Amino acid sequence: MADTPEVPPATGPRGFARRVFDSFWRVGWPRDERAALRALLQSLVLHVHAPKVRPSALTFRATWGLGFVSLILLGALTATGVYLMFYYSPHPSAAYRSMKDIDFVLPFGLLTRNVHRWAAHAMVFLVTLHMVRVFLSGGYKAPREANWVVGVLAWVSTLALSFTGYLLPWDQLAFWAVTVGANMVAAVPGVGPDLRVLLLGDAAVGEPALLRFYVLHCVVLPLVILGLVSFHVFRVRKDGGLVTTEHAPALPDGTRPRMVPAWPHLLYREVVLTLVTVVVLLAVSLWVDAPLEPEADPARTPNPAKAPWYFLGVQELAHYSAFWGGVFVPAALVLGLCALPYFDRGTAGLGRYFPRERWLACTLFSATMVFLAVVTLIGTLFRGPGWAFGWYWP
Amino acid sequence: MSETPTRTPFWLDATFAGSAVALVILLGVAMAREWARPPLIAQRIVPALGVVDRCEHCHSEDTHPGEMLTHHPPERFGCTPCHGGQGWALTARDAHEARPDWERPLFTLAEREAACGRCHLSGPVPGAPRLEVGRRLLDTLGCRACHALPGAGETPPGLPLDGLSLKVEPAWVRWFLTAPENPDGPAPRHRMPRFDLEPDAVEDLVAYLLRPAAPLAAAPEGDAERGRTAVATRRCATCHRIEGRGGDFAPSLDLAGAKMRPEWLVAFLRAPHAIRPGIDMPEFGLDEREAADIAAYIAEQLVSDTGETPWSKAIAVDGDPARRAEAGRAVFARSGCRGCHVTADVPLDRPGAPLAQIAGRTAAERPPAADGEDPPDVPAFVARKVASPRVFDPPGGPAGVMPQFRTTPDEAVAIGIAVAALGGRSVPVEYRRDTAPRPFAPPPGVIADLFERKRCLSCHRIGGTGGDLSRIPLDGVGARLDRTWLARFLEAPTTVRLDQPERMPVLGLSPEEAARLAEYLSLTLDAAWSAEPVPVGDATRGEALYGRHGCATCHVHRGQGALGGPGLDDAPRRLRPVYLSTLLRAPERVPNGRHAAVRLSAGDAADVAAFLSTATAPATVVPATAATGVPSAD
């Protein structure tokens, strides 16, 4: 083959190891640009990268790393989630007990649970920011409409994964947050109560709900998000990479900057970002323990009973009107986001944040997001017993 | 911005290097923490109690003080059922303290005592004396009236209050509701707590309670002197204080003439249970004339010499009676009176929280005390609430309705312990100890009817339950007493112990009723020893033994002796020989407090029994029957 290494194969154990490595990685360590391109294209994992990227796409502010870090977090969640699944038992009589055993007895159990918890919260937060970033740079416009829709669905899946995982510890926090969430579902006109039964398998949170949430959290939704995210990443490449590349600034001499190979420039940045993500996650998880409250007790309602933080904006709105705040606004938001690229079709100002040409769209979107952030903050920090307004640091 | 493609910026390399170092350090910390954990975990698992206790990770059962572990082995009970805390935890902080995921820290001393009550559902518990005291108080104070309490319900502890205007003078009610000296008032044993009502509210309540009722039929004129004799012969003073003497089991009748209306008394005396269901007083079967005589005696002679009574000074407050009665009904309902007292027009609505719910309250769920001194545990919280019912009222909120009970601080803590014992998960059946005796239930029909009408169990104990007024439990009474004598005694109680005041009331049993009751008691309230053969004794030798053992120090026989115990002249008719011989030979088998010091050999006992069973006057000897007689020697 043309790719046969120049050095003849070594003998002995080193040679054997070398042969095994080469059987998987056939192109050798790339020493020039050509070899780097070949390496990318040959690799199943790496060939989602474009072989060459524009230098502007490598800058941090081009993406803030939000999508990539979300992907890393998804990986961390999968790994820790599998470990937790070995010890977790999805039955009300055993679930809380298994949480205690994970925390107190299982080697690295508490650390694993902390990583899983904090990575999940971070992922909800970062995926949302990723969506904001893409919107502000116009990344949802042709030819990326479909990928935007897939992204919105992946965002919803992320929320659903987080929500279903919220119930599993079977503590007071879990039980009542999910009860509140399920009550919001019940506010859907007409079929609301039936939807709640469909979700919980019962009129209230109990054994069927725990099993349902477990299966959704560990099997169904991971498969869904795996499919969506794979497609999402694939389409980023097929749609021409980052939207910034089309409007990269010209160099002083008037030429476009030369494209650089993704190996090593993009890959190195990804490695560094992965490292930083892991380090931050590990540091937080080593020193901040995931919350665990007393065992779920249907007879003791905490006051106020709050949904998970990312639904507190909706709960706050539902406080004013169960239907308009709790059903209409979230549904309109998701549907509106999906429909957005098919109506907002201007092409001016793409690739820049908050460009003058798109001031209206960006302002409206930002206002919506700020509004949601504000009601979420109010619901989180300013609502006490009886949903009374005040200063309630959790 | 635009980078040279072949070079990576310094900050990227620096971040890479820094992150890599940080990652190694963090992994090192994680590993170090893991290695610092013990490789093996000592734990007790008791599935039946849901217990996984890792206490022995640090503690050893060998150092457990006292004998507790010998009858509560850790492999069957674990640690946390008695000690609380989080058994799963491996660090002292997690195991002992209240944590975000564990609200119940290690038990305090009082909580440990309460914990006994989760398995020991009744009866005395060695080592937890306050638990039993508290449980008794929960029943006798009428807590159940306002707070739902698991277990069998009881009849409302207070008297029904419909038609009160027919019974008492308004001034008495007014005084009873206000007088701080109530405890020493007309009924020393009454259980009613203090409500501290405003004078206006009291007047409203008086108007409501004394609202007009359909008048009673007029009673015939009675004779006070005959009434006085009837009261004496019926032995009313066993329970009531009359003319300064008598028992305090029932309300004092001194000054009753200034309180109660004669027509009501007549109706009550003739059919007490129709008017006051659930009271302890027996139905004496009085005819109208005798009842009228007693009512006349009370009305004419049991009054104040000076005309002054404690309640004659209670001043009425003006107001429209109808409006006051309506307001009084609201006061009655609001104050929770209905919990103890039945009236027709106020429905039962327990104003208090269920006690099991109170028992489950964590520190965060208990209301803060007004003085800032929050009790450390549930027993202390309940004790505080009992001692000062207003101390947990929310500031600015509505005042609570819990009344002030007359409990000592120790009693309040005992109540708290009994309440705390209601909390927690219920334990499996095999762990429960329910040792309290069941109330004695006579067979339905004529016997149960007699027990019910004559209220035998108000005074006598059978099988560990019943009243404690009589010192004579009825257990084994059939083995002790001759049936014929018993029938005569029930019909017309005679004096058995000359050193004691006569106490058994004259219940008005017909000869047939007395015979039926005596037959029932003799046949069913038997003792194991009564079937044992009694050797034929030598009465002459018995007489010598009687003298040698100093029996005359306590007993009168043939006109000689002292009044320390019952007279023995009627022993042949009264006592069964098997009882005499068993008591003398093995006093522990016949529980009888004062005879434990005497213990004779079987032969001696038979001789003394033969001596005492030999009638002084042969004419009154009751022929021996199969049930009572001496078995033929063989």
A282 contacts chain B (CB < 8 A): yes
What are the structure tokens assigned to B479, written together? 């083995």
Hey, is A169 helix, strand or coil? coil
Q: Which residues contact B523 (CB under 8 A, 6 or more apart)?
A: B478
Q: How far is A28 from chain B (nearest CA, A)?
A: 20
* Interface probe with B: pick from A37, A56, A105, most Cβ of B within 10 Å: A105
Question: What span, in angstroms and rounded, lies between the C-alpha atoms of A18 and A7?
Answer: 11
- Comparing CA positions, the residue from B147, B551, B164, B159 lying closest to residue B352 is B147
* Interface probe with A: pick from B1, B2, B51, B358, most Cβ of A within 10 Å: B2
Match 């549907």 to its residue by tokens: A335
For chain B, state the CA radius of gyration: 34
Which residues on A lie below 8 Å from B16 (Cβ)?
Answer: 268, 271-272, 275
Q: Which residues contact B589 (CB under 8 A, 6 or more apart)?
A: B527, B529, B582
* Interface probe with B: pick from A96, A279, A301, most Cβ of B within 10 Å: A279
Cβ-nearest to B101 among A264, A292, A300: A292
A134, pLDDT greater than 80: yes
B412, B147 Cβ separation under 8 angstroms: no
Match 């008591």 to its residue by tokens: B583
φ, ψ dihedrals at B341, nearest 5°: -115, 125
User: B446-522 belongs to which homologous superfamily?
Assistant: Cytochrome c-like domain (1.10.760.10)
The residue of chain B with its CA nearest to that of A279 is B23
pLDDT value at position B6?
Answer: 56
- Comparing CA positions, the residue from A270, A206, A267, A235 lying closest to residue A72 is A270
Q: Report the percent of chain B where pLDDT is more than 70.
A: 93
* Interface probe with B: pick from A93, A172, A173, A272, most Cβ of B within 10 Å: A272
Which residues on A lie below 8 Å from B353 (Cβ)?
Answer: none
A260 contacts chain B (CB < 8 A): yes
Cα A166 from chain centroid? 15
Domain boundaries of chain B, sorted by first residue: 44-111, 112-148+350-436, 164-327, 446-522, 529-620
Q: How far is B502 from chain A (nearest CA, A)?
A: 57
Q: Are domains B112-148+350-436 and B529-620 of this chain identical in fold?
A: yes
- Comparing CA positions, the residue from B525, B516, B538, B518 lying closest to residue B630 is B538
CA distances from B189 to A25, A366, B239, B251, B341 (A): 97, 77, 11, 8, 17
A236, A147 Cβ separation under 8 angstroms: yes
Domain boundaries of chain A, sorted by first residue: 55-299
Subunit contact A111:B102, Cβ cutoff 8 A: no
pLDDT value at position A393?
Answer: 66
Orientation of helix B483-491 relative to helix B511-524, angle to 10°? 140
Q: How far is A260 from chain B (nearest CA, A)?
A: 6
A3, pLDDT greater than 70: no
B622, B598 Cβ separation under 8 angstroms: no
B370, B391 Cβ separation under 8 angstroms: yes
A107 contacts chain B (CB < 8 A): yes
Q: How far is B34 from chain A (nearest CA, A)?
A: 7
Subunit contact B12:A286, Cβ cutoff 8 A: no
Burial class (CB in 10 A: 0-12, 13-18, 19+), A46: middle
**Beta-ladder partners of B575:** B481
Distance linking the first and last C-alpha atoms of chain A:
65
Q: What single string gives the DSSP state of each residue in B124-138? A: --TT-HHHHHHHHHH
Amino acid at B261: R
How many cross-chain Cβ pairs, A to B, lie less than 8 Å apart? 77
Which residues on B lie below 8 Å from A261 (Cβ)?
Answer: 5
Q: Is residue A264 reached through a cis peptide bond, with omega within 30 degrees of 0 on the bond before it?
A: yes
A220, pLDDT greater than 50: yes
Residues of chain B where predicted confidence (pLDDT) is lower than 50: 1-5, 183-184, 617-634
Cβ-nearest to B101 among A251, A260, A294: A294
What are the structure tokens assigned to A15, written together? 């040679």
pLDDT value at position B396?
Answer: 80
What are the structure tokens assigned to B203, written together? 């007047």
Chain B, window 42-61: residues with a beta carbon less than 8 angstroms from a chain A beta carbon: 52, 54
Helix count and strand count (H, E) for chain A:
17, 2
* Interface probe with B: pick from A282, A284, A285, A352, most Cβ of B within 10 Å: A282
B12 contacts chain A (CB < 8 A): yes
- Domain B529-620 grouped into CATH 1.10.760.10: yes
Show the beta-strand stretches assigned E in B251-325: none
Q: How far is B37 from chain A (nearest CA, A)?
A: 9
- Comparing CA positions, the residue from B456, B437, B444 lying closest to residue B518 is B456
The residue of chain A with its CA nearest to that of B27 is A282
pLDDT value at position B633?
Answer: 35
Hey, is A215 helix, strand or coil? helix
Subunit contact B12:A271, Cβ cutoff 8 A: no
**Beta-ladder partners of B461:** B466
Cα B106 from chain centroid? 31
What are the structure tokens assigned to B399, written together? 């005042």
Q: What is the pLDDT of residues A110-129, one digit of tens each?
A: 999 999 999 999 999 999 99
Which residues on B lie below 8 Å from A292 (Cβ)?
Answer: 100-101
Question: What span, in angstroms and rounded, lies between the C-alpha atoms of A112 and A293?
Answer: 18
Cβ-nearest to A279 among B1, B26, B365: B26
Task: Provide the CATH number for the domain formed by A55-299 in this structure.
Answer: 1.20.810.10
Hey, is A3 helix, strand or coil? coil
B441, B452 Cβ separation under 8 angstroms: no
**CA B41, B43, B48 angle in degrees (round to 5)?**
150
B227, B256 Cβ separation under 8 angstroms: no
The residue of chain A with its CA nearest to that of B36 is A107
pLDDT value at position A281?
Answer: 96
Q: How far is A230 from chain B (nearest CA, A)?
A: 27
pLDDT value at position B624?
Answer: 38
B163, B157 Cβ separation under 8 angstroms: no
A311, A181 Cβ separation under 8 angstroms: yes
Report the top-level CATH class of B164-327: mainly alpha
The residue of chain B with its CA nearest to that of A283 is B26
- Comparing CA positions, the residue from B425, B406, B411 lying closest to residue B382 is B411
Which residues on A lie below 8 Å from B3 (Cβ)?
Answer: 55, 58, 260
Q: How far is A2 from chain B (nearest CA, A)?
A: 26
The residue of chain A with its CA nearest to that of B4 is A55
* Interface probe with A: pick from B13, B46, B55, B101, most Cβ of A within 10 Å: B101
B504, B486 Cβ separation under 8 angstroms: no
CA distances from A27 to B289, B427, B606 (A): 125, 69, 117
- Return the exposure string of A128-163: e unless at least 16 CB atoms fall within 10 Å of the residue's CB, then b: bbbbebbbbbbbbbeebbebbbbbbbbbbbbbbbbb
Distance linking the first and last C-alpha atoms of chain B:
126
User: Which one has a higher pLDDT value, B57 or A83?
Assistant: A83
User: Which one has a higher pLDDT value, A230 or B559?
Assistant: A230
Q: How far is A187 from chain B (nearest CA, A)?
A: 30
B379, B109 Cβ separation under 8 angstroms: no
B117: Cα within 13 Å, side-chain hemisphere:
29
Cβ-nearest to A286 among B30, B41, B94: B30
The CATH topology of domain B112-148+350-436 is: Cytochrome Bc1 Complex; Chain D, domain 2 (1.10.760)
Chain B, window 572-611: residues with a beta carbon less than 8 angstroms from a chain A beta carbon: none
* Pairing label, strands B245-246, B241-242: antiparallel
Show the beta-strand stretches assigned E in A97-253: none
Q: What is the pLDDT of residues A273-290, one digit of tens each?
A: 999 999 999 999 999 999
Show the beta-strand stretches assigned E in B411-517: 433-434, 461-462, 465-466
Q: How far is B261 from chain A (nearest CA, A)?
A: 52
